[in-house]
Structure 1
Amino acid sequence: MDAQQIRAAYLAMMAERGHTIIDRASLVPHDDPTTLFTGSGMQPLLRFLLGETHPAGNRLADVQPCVRAQDIEEVGDNRHTTFFEMLGNWSLGDYFKAEQIPMFWSFLVDVVGLDPNRIYVSVFSGDAEHGIPRDEESADIWTDLFQKAGVSADRVDLITEEHGNDVGNQGARIAFYQDKNWWSRAGGPNEMPVGDPGGPDSEVFYYFPQVVHDTAYGRFPHQNSDGGQYLEIGNSVFMQYRRAAGDDGAGFAELPHRNVDYGGGLERIAAAAIDSPDVFRVSLLWPIIEKLQGLSGKSYDDETHAMRIVTDHVRGAVFLAADGVSPSNREAGYVMRRLLRRAIRFATELGVENNVLAPLVDVVADIYADSYPEVGEKRETIVKVLQKEERAFRRTLNKGLRELRHIAKENRPITGDDFFTLSDTFGFPVELSTEEAQRQGLVLSTDWRAEFDDRREEQRRRSQAATKLGAHE
């Protein structure tokens, strides 16, 4: 199955099992000032998970486009993207572990066709300090599913990611962790404020034996290692507790209604379906790579890192534009500008020195026009928005690169004043400037950030003074 077929099959299966299919939310939340972007399928539904009644009922499902700008520096490896689609289903006080885990298993194995021998899971190891039991129920359900498929289901206690890095999972199918398998808005049980909900979760990973474990992430591989062999493809949160008030504020109480919050990465499941540890080879991304190969005359195998960055960033920017975002120097617009300027910079490295964005917008729009009609319908507007940003940045890109090369010849650390000049004069976002400086092997001064912030604050004060003076005149 390709990604488009997986998306359709998931929604069909959820509808058959009594879920109402709800519309996706905007990438830019309009009623949540705490975050710039919708970063998970759960985020728009949080108030319903906290107890508010949803008008569509207590069984819901959708496919939610997401943006996680915090992952921008990770893009370039085989699995991180700033934009992705999240398959989601929710039970608001209806079914729980006994139905959710087999339903997810059936989707992966019976519908998508994944090999049960390559599926590994993790569950919550318990927290004696807070009186939260070890999640033997989830482990037993997984054991039964594995055994019925003729797969061994050994268990191992790893507790922390660090311990897992030292000892590995020793081939165990089910790994127990503590904070890594606990969900709350704040983190582990200790970090939760009074009144907040949370609960254990069970994560599912697909194993790629063809990947050599990267020992930079620990001596041995295990489910929660970033070493590359295990790719997380889904997570079921069993939200059943709230932090309760008490003499020491450490108590937990059961929620009146237990909820299920499932999220699965569409691109990652699609990668597992084609037995590729590289998510950029799935049907939602590979056509963009192919177009980029044609524009640059270079191959993906030779220019993997740069092509992944351009592909991811342009796709994300297209969806942001479809949801009404324009490049700017503030909030969501600033992130969009950073994505586009990084894409343009890496396209230049590939030898595409003009008009890279418009041809890639067409490819993205063709990929998503059926599933997200708004992307196809707004194609011309999106092209205009992105082309305008490309023309503006192209005018300053070469000047900024020359300035960096000039600094490099001075054989000195690059300072906050240098970065401010690059930002103020040449239009380089500071994140792009620091990244480019490091790519050129420049040493950054130890206090460059404070210097940069001081210059920016000084400019802000001057701008305010000029505005007040103009008003008096």
Structure 2
Amino acid sequence: MNVDQVRALYLDHLIDHQHVILDRAPLVLRDDPTTLFTGSGMQPLLPYLLGADHPSGDRLADVQPCLRSQDIEEVGDNRHTTFFEMLGNWSLGAYFKPEQIRLAWEFLVDKVGLDPNRIYVSIYSGDDGLGIPADEESAEIWRDLFAAAGITADRVDLVTEERGNDEGSDGARICGYRDKNWWSRGGGPETMPIGDPGGPDTEIFYYFPKVEHDPAYGEHPHPNSDGGQYLEIGNSVFMQFLRTDDGLAALPRRNVDFGGGLERIAAAAIDSPDVYRVSSLWPIVVKLEELSGRAYAEETPAMRVIADHVRGAVFLIADGVRPSSKEHGYVLRRLLRRAIRFAHGVGLGDGTLSTVAEVAVDIYRDAYPDIAAAREEILAALAKEERQFRRTLAKGLRELRRLGKENRPLNGSDLFTLYERFGFPVELATEEARTMGIEVTDGAREDFDTAMRRQRELSRASTTMGA
């Protein structure tokens, strides 16, 4: 089953349950200053989750392209991407836990065809100090669904991720966590921003028994570990609280916010723990193999980075972002320069970004016609950025290697020089230094930021004097 099929099945499933399908929001929300990019389907719906009436009713769904730049350094493993599509559905007071959990189960098991024997879930374990009880209602609903599939669903209380890492879950179907199973935009109940909604959630994981658990993430595997055996594919948030100056209060109505990772569900559908094997990413990888003459198995992290970053750049450019040194444009530039640096490392020359982007545009031609309509703008912007950066990339890498031979850690002055002379963003310079085994001082980033502030102040003073 490919990504297009999973996307279509989801929308049809929600239409069958009387949901109105919303158009996608742009990756840059012009009226939301709290975040650079749309990182979840709920962001454009925040006013309605807080109580406003939505013009399309109280049962909503969509498939939302998302970009999470905070995950950029995680890209290279088998599950993380900065760009992804999020399947979403919302109840604005129309239904709550029983219908939502069954809605998710029916989609994953009956529509997509996932093996229920490999589905595991987590629930909120409660917080006695805050007077918030464990989500026993969700646990009981899951227990009934598993039982109907002939699966015994015992529950284990892990409470914390650390305890899970130390003790494991011993194959329990329903695991309880405190911090991991509370959703808000600002963390747990104590750190929710004033005026924001939040509540307990229940997460869904798919188990890959042939994957070896990575002990770097704890001695024992459990669903909410990044050890590799369990892949989170969906999360139902039960928004019933509002953070106020006095603590938590009840929302005017209880809402549901479901998010499912399209690529991850598609990977589970083809029994692959590697999301880069799905139909919206694998053709890009194949093109990279063709261009480089190297196999994915030999250059796995590099090809994952290039595929993810170029795909994200395609959507950003289509939504009006251009490479620059500020905010949205800076993140786009960082994605592209990181992709170019990895392309350089596997022997891919000038023109790589445009060639790879053409594949990405073709992949999304039917699902997102606006991407195809922006084809020429996308290719032109990528070609321009690649030409500019490749002129300085080789020189910058040589300078970094020269600094490494001085047998001392890099400091903020070194990072500033690499940025000023060679166009290396500070994150790219520090990341490349780590790859080369070059130490960076603890205060290097702060010293770099200070140098940048001084430069801006001098620039403003010069402009004022010139006027």
TM-score, normalised via structure 2 length: 0.98
2:57 aligns with 57
For the residue of structure 2 that corresponds to 1:38, the secondary structure is coil
Distance 1:254 1:407 in 2: 57
Asked if 1 retains the 8 angstrom alpha-carbon contact of 2:50 and 2:251, the reply is: no
2:280 aligns with 284
1:258 aligns with 254
1:210 aligns with 2:206: no
| Greater shift in the superposed pair: 123-132 or 41-50 | 123-132
1:29 aligns with 29
1:371 aligns with 2:367: yes
Q: Following superposition of structure 1 onto structure 2, how do residues 47-126 of structure 1 map, counting pairs within 5 Å?
A: 47-126=47-126
Q: What is the Cα deviation at residue 194 of structure 1?
A: 5.2
Distance 2:129 2:411 in 1: 48
Distance 2:271 2:387 in 1: 40
Residues 13, 446 of structure 1: CA spacing in aligned structure 2 closer, same or farther, 3 A cutoff?
Answer: closer
Distance 1:351 1:54 in 2: 51
Code of the residue aligned with 1:373 in structure 2: it is P
Residues 193, 323 of structure 1: CA spacing in aligned structure 2 closer, same or farther, 3 A cutoff?
Answer: closer
Code of the residue aligned with 1:150 in structure 2: it is G
Q: Deviations over 1:427-467 (max 9, x none)?
A: 11111111111111112234322321222122111111111
1:356 aligns with 2:338: no
2:329 to 326, 333, 350: 333
Q: What is the Cα deviation at residue 338 of structure 1?
A: 0.3
For the residue of structure 1 that corresponds to 2:205, the secondary structure is strand
Distance 2:187 2:439 in 1: 35
Q: What is the Cα deviation at residue 132 of structure 1?
A: 1.9
1:318 aligns with 2:342: no
Q: Deviations over 1:178-206 (max 9, x none)?
A: 12111122221222355542211100000
2:13 aligns with 13
Distance 2:168 2:442 in 1: 37
1:416 aligns with 412
Code of the residue aligned with 2:374 in structure 1: it is K
| Greater shift in the superposed pair: 125-134 or 78-87 | 125-134
1:274 to 239, 253, 270: 270
For the residue of structure 2 that corresponds to 1:204, the secondary structure is strand
Distance 1:458 1:354 in 2: 35
Residues 160, 451 of structure 1: CA spacing in aligned structure 2 closer, same or farther, 3 A cutoff?
Answer: same
Q: Following superposition of structure 1 onto structure 2, how do residues 211-250 of structure 1 map, counting pairs within 5 Å?
A: 211-243=211-243, 249-250=246-247
2:42 aligns with 42
1:386 aligns with 2:382: yes
Residues 426, 117 of structure 1: CA spacing in aligned structure 2 closer, same or farther, 3 A cutoff?
Answer: same
Distance 1:175 1:292 in 2: 40
Code of the residue aligned with 2:209 in structure 1: it is P
1:438 aligns with 434
Distance 2:156 2:128 in 1: 18
Q: What is the Cα deviation at residue 244 of structure 1?
A: 5.4
Code of the residue aligned with 1:93 in structure 2: it is G
Code of the residue aligned with 1:436 in structure 2: it is E
For the residue of structure 2 that corresponds to 1:191, the secondary structure is coil
1:429 aligns with 425
1:187 aligns with 2:183: no
Asked if 1 retains the 8 angstrom alpha-carbon contact of 2:19 and 2:59, the reply is: yes
Code of the residue aligned with 2:190 in structure 1: it is N
| Greater shift in the superposed pair: 119-128 or 108-117 | 119-128
Distance 2:401 2:287 in 1: 31
Distance 1:77 1:145 in 2: 32
For the residue of structure 1 that corresponds to 2:422, the secondary structure is coil
Distance 2:368 2:235 in 1: 25
Residues 363, 195 of structure 1: CA spacing in aligned structure 2 closer, same or farther, 3 A cutoff?
Answer: closer
| Greater shift in the superposed pair: 123-132 or 164-173 | 123-132
1:397 aligns with 393
Q: What is the Cα deviation at residue 113 of structure 1?
A: 0.3
Distance 2:244 2:25 in 1: 31
Distance 1:212 1:199 in 2: 33
Q: Structure 1 runs of 4+ off > 4 angstroms? A: none
For the residue of structure 1 that corresponds to 2:203, the secondary structure is strand
For the residue of structure 2 that corresponds to 1:260, the secondary structure is strand
Code of the residue aligned with 1:75 in structure 2: it is V
Residues 324, 243 of structure 1: CA spacing in aligned structure 2 closer, same or farther, 3 A cutoff?
Answer: closer
2:175 aligns with 175
1:142 aligns with 2:130: no
Q: Percent identity?
A: 66
Q: What count of residue pairs does the alignment treat as equivalent?
A: 467
Code of the residue aligned with 1:435 in structure 2: it is E
| Greater shift in the superposed pair: 449-458 or 62-71 | 449-458
Residues 244, 322 of structure 1: CA spacing in aligned structure 2 closer, same or farther, 3 A cutoff?
Answer: closer
Q: What is the Cα deviation at residue 254 of structure 1?
A: 2.9
Distance 1:2 1:446 in 2: 45
1:164 aligns with 164
For the residue of structure 1 that corresponds to 2:25, the secondary structure is coil
1:133 aligns with 133
Query: Which consecutive unaligned segments of at least 5 residues does structure 1 have?
Result: none
For the residue of structure 2 that corresponds to 1:66, the secondary structure is strand
Query: Which consecutive unaligned segments of at least 5 residues does structure 2 have?
Result: none
For the residue of structure 1 that corresponds to 2:89, the secondary structure is strand
Code of the residue aligned with 2:52 in structure 1: it is E
For the residue of structure 1 that corresponds to 2:314, the secondary structure is helix
Distance 1:158 1:80 in 2: 25
